[in-house]
Amino acid sequence: MSEEREMITGIEAPIYLQYKFTAGSAPARFLSQVKKGVLTGQRCPGCQNVYCPPRGSCAACGLPTEEEVVLSDKATVQSFTIVAIPIPNNPIQPPYIIANLVPDGSNISFIHLMSECVNEEVHIGQRVQALWKPEEEWDYAMDNIRYFKPIDEPDVPVDRIGTMPVTGWEG
Amino acid sequence: MQQIAIVGYQQSDCVSWAGATNEVELIMPVLRRVFDQVGLANAQDVDFVCSGSCDYLQGAAFAFVAGVDALGAVPPIKESHVEMDAAWALYESMLKIRMGHAKSALIYGFGKSSPGELPIVLSQQLDPYYLAPQWVDTISLAAMQARLMLDQGLITERDMAEVVARSRGNALNNPHAQLSGDIAVDELLAQETYVSPLRKSDCPPVSDGASAVIICTVEQAIEWGVPYAIISGIDHRIESHNLAMRDLTDSVSTRQAAQGAGMADGSVDVAELYAPFSHQEIILTRALGLGENTQVNPSGGVLAGNLMMASGLSRIGELFNRITSGEARRGIAHATSGPCLQHNLVTVVESA
């Protein structure tokens, strides 16, 4: 009879790989503007949609996006969730809000944090504005914006979210 | 059986560093050119799209999904991906067409290998229990393979250098090549070894870039009114992941794939072989029984520029170019994957 062996259910084989990662030409242009405290998008020459942050193409049309568009740091809540569980190594304490926000002048949302708000009162169509870090801390990163906070403006009707001009309600 | 035609092929330049471009920015110009070649507007004009890539290369999780941004996928398209060279994406696309689920397909492969240390990255494709934890890199494995051949008297270092010299010379006619030039065999032999017995010139350069092919039914090719070549056979075979169980001086799987694809049913005017290392071209040429009537790697092959995950597809595309230009009537394209030629695919292409 074969001798009894302890079952091996796993081995440790950690993987360490080093990369010189690049974001891409379009994201690099975007991040260079973010470092100056400006949000930008890129317009599709086909469907005219403005993407923020841009990846270099219109995902719908498959066309390169070249034209750079300056956006507002005011935005509209397109969707949101209240995070109730702590995420390891994340300094932000729950409960907090992650939201899909469409900046004025863009047609596509990006994801960022919301704060200075009553979590239970956050709603789709709500108007918010970026709270930037002090200028001396700005880097090539989206967390130059600490979070977005509600502003005293009328809600955007659901069917108009994603169509606000860069001038917002003034436009 | 449904005959399938190749109607378009485009490749980017092989460059050692594609700068800041991301995968979408690498792919989009190549897709535009292949659509223009066939007279199509975009991916909406083909029935199926399949890509080949590996996220480990640039170290970006789900880069292959981001690549779809280059297609114009609104309204939704039928799309698939292989974590392999795009030659296998072409294989999948052929099955799709033969099953009657599509009449045409766009296939593209892309790789940005420059951000990482490619030979080390590729060590992680080895078996996860014994070899991957030892980080055996691809160049060292190929060097051991070359050592076996040299010590058994199957090749000489001069044979290897002759492969390199011919590759660089042929690449002078390939505008997308990364390494080309007139270089004497003795000059190559005078170079230091890199990972003994390999010299740097015996190894492929690290390249960034993309390539794309469009295939379709013959009826569709005639309807589009574009030049085409016929894929008359395709097959692929794989050997054990255990390197010790393989005869590394031969490529049994390549020979079997060639048999399955019907290579021997006619002349082989041209062979585009995916041989990343110089001695591997000799292994493949012998395994396939190619003689003096076959021109090997007129493009320069991958020693002149190696787009990981696209080079296998490019071999098929280069063969298509030779046939539609009238330089050849019939030939084979070979693609490989895994260490020391583990997995091999052979495609037979003929003039229409």
pLDDT tens figures, A131-148? 999 999 999 999 999 999
Residue B105 domain-assigned (yes or no): yes
Distance CA A43, CA A57 (A): 9
Q: Which residue has the higher pLDDT, A2 or B146?
A: B146
Examine residue A92 and state whether it is found in any structural domain, yes or no: yes
Whether B272 and B334 have beta carbons less than 8 Å apart is answered as yes
Q: How many CB atoms lie within 10 A of CB A125?
A: 15
The tally of domains found in chain B comes to 1
* CA nearest neighbour of B338 among B112, B80, B52, B85: B85
Q: Are B25 and A56 an interchain contact pair (Cβ–Cβ within 8 Å)?
A: yes
Residues of B in contact with A13 (CB under 8 A): 128-129, 132-133
Buried b (16+ CB within 10 A) or exposed e, B290-315: beeebbbbbbbbbbbbbbbbbbbbbb
Cβ–Cβ under 8 Å, residues B139 and B200: no
- Both tokens of B174, joined, read 């390939």
* Separation between Cα atoms, residue B251 and residue B268, nearest integer Å: 19
Could you read off the pLDDT of B126-152 as tens digits, one per residue? 998 899 999 999 999 999 999 999 999
Interacting residues of B264 by C-beta distance below 8 A, sequence separation 6+: B258
Domain contains A125? yes
Q: Any CB–CB contact under 8 A between B164 and chain A? A: no
B266 lies in some domain? no
Residue A128 lies in a domain: yes
Residues of A in contact with B23 (CB under 8 A): 24
Where do the DSSP E strands lie in chain A? 40-43, 50-51, 57-58, 63-64, 67-70, 74-83, 96-103, 110-114, 127-132, 145-150
Which residue from B28, B105, B15, B17 is spatially nearest to B67, judged by alpha carbons? B28
Gap from B38 CA to chain A (nearest CA, Å): 17
Q: Which of B21, B68, B69 sits opposite A25 (nearest CB)?
A: B21
Interface test with B, best of A8, A11, A19 (most B CBs within 10 A): A19
The answer as to whether A18 is a domain residue is: no
Report the 3 state secondary structure along B102-115: CCEEEEEEEEECCC
> What is the pLDDT at residue B193?
97
Instruction: Report pLDDT for A1.
Output: 53
- CATH number, position B82: 3.40.47.10
Structural domain including B64 reads 4-117+206-224
CA–CA gap between residue A140 and residue A142 (Å, rounded): 7
Establish if A20 belongs to a structural domain.
no
Contacts of B344 (CB under 8 A, 6+ apart): B236, B237, B238, B251, B253, B254, B257, B334, B335, B336, B337
Task: Tell me what pLDDT residue A2 has.
Answer: 62
A150 in any annotated domain? yes
Residue B30 lies in a domain: yes
* Contact between residue B124 and residue B117 where contact means Cβ atoms under 8 Å apart: no
Residue A8: inside a domain: no
Inter-residue contact B278 to B164 (CB < 8 Å): yes
CB contact under 8 A, A61 and B66: no
Give the closest of B31, B56, B133 to A13, CB-based. B133
Whether the pLDDT of residue A171 is over 80: the answer is no
- How much is the pTM? 0.94
Residue B126 lies in a domain: no
- pLDDT, residue A147, reads 95
Tens-digit pLDDT profile for residues A64-120: 998 999 999 999 999 999 999 988 888 888 999 999 999 999 999 999 999 999 999
Has residue B255 got a pLDDT over 90? Answer: yes
The verdict on A58 touching B (C-beta cutoff 8 Å) is: yes
Rounded to an integer, the average pLDDT of B323-337 is: 98
CB B209 within 8 A of CB B15: yes
Which of B42, B70, B117 is the closest to A18 by Cβ?
B117
Whether A4 is in a domain gets the answer no
- Contact state of B22 with A22 under an 8 Å Cβ cutoff: yes
In a domain, B27, yes or no: yes
The size of the A-B interface in CB pairs under 8 A is 88
* B299, part of any domain: no
**Structural domain containing residue A105:** 25-170
| CA angle (B53 as vertex; B49, B59 as ends), nearest 5 | 140
B107 in any annotated domain: yes
